[in-house]
Amino acid sequence: MRNREKIGIFFSVILIIIALFFTISVKSTPPGIPQTTPEIKVSAIEPSEMALQLSDVPADFTILERTERTRSNTTQSELDFGWIKGYNVVYQRINSDGQVAEAVQQTIGVYPIENVSQVQAYIKKFAVEFANENVQVDELSDPNIGDSSQAFRIRNLNTQMTIFIISFTKKNVVELIFAGGTSADYEQIKIIAKTAAGKIK
């Protein structure tokens, strides 16, 4: 996979939406046992409503970008997984020298629900393949966010710059929280990711 494609997914990544239909057979329901309404597995809100707000990130961050994603700025890999719609938000923290010290990006994607697990597997694949003699990739313990989640630490051995990535699924949504720079607090990033997951309804 070309580096451009990998970087594009890091900054655009992959989400999933499709209706999951449940059928309840009256004949198969034992007499006297009330039927229950199945849990809705598809998000009922727009990706923009799932976006992190300025109040959801540390106080010294400012907003850099907040925009709806379209097919024109979506990678072919995402489209191959049935990407339907999405949203992107980027926050940054500026240091005393006026340089960007840390950035936090939230990429939201909606896919057919049956493809969500495949998207997660693909994210892991390209994260691992990003490693080379100058880049170290470590898979971190499951942060236990949403319905499924995974986390990675990517470190440039030449510059010592570290990037943390948390990807999680909830209902038919796949989100990627990307954070890094000259400094990054992984525990804080997990809190931000949990906040993001709580916005999916």
Distance CA 93, CA 10 (A): 19
Distance CA 169, CA 149 (A): 6
Quickly count: other Cβ atoms within 10 Å of residue 200's Cβ: 22
Distance CA 92, CA 104 (A): 6
Contact 90, 103 (CB under 8 A): yes
Distance CA 147, CA 127 (A): 20
Structural domains in the chain, CATH included, are: 3-198 (3.40.1000.70)
Please calculate the CA angle 7-13-18 and round it to the nearest 5 degrees: 160
Q: What is the pTM of this model?
A: 0.79
Please calculate the CA angle 90-172-126 and round it to the nearest 5 degrees: 60
Residue 187 is predicted with a pLDDT of 94
pLDDT in tens, the chain (201 residues): 444 444 343 333 322 222 222 222 223 333 444 444 445 689 999 999 999 999 999 999 999 999 999 999 899 999 999 999 999 999 999 887 878 889 999 999 999 999 999 999 999 998 998 899 999 999 999 999 999 999 999 999 998 889 999 999 999 999 999 999 877 889 999 999 999 999 999
Distance CA 135, CA 118 (A): 25
Helix 116-129 × helix 3-12 angle, to 10°: 130
Please calculate the CA angle 155-89-148 and round it to the nearest 5 degrees: 65
H/E stretch holding 190 reads: helix 186-198
Distance CA 167, CA 193 (A): 9
CA 93 to chain centre: 20
Which strands make up the sheet holding 61-69, listed edge to edge? 61-69, 85-94, 100-110, 173-181, 162-170, 148-156, 135-140
Count, residues in the chain: 201
Contact 105, 177 (CB under 8 A): yes
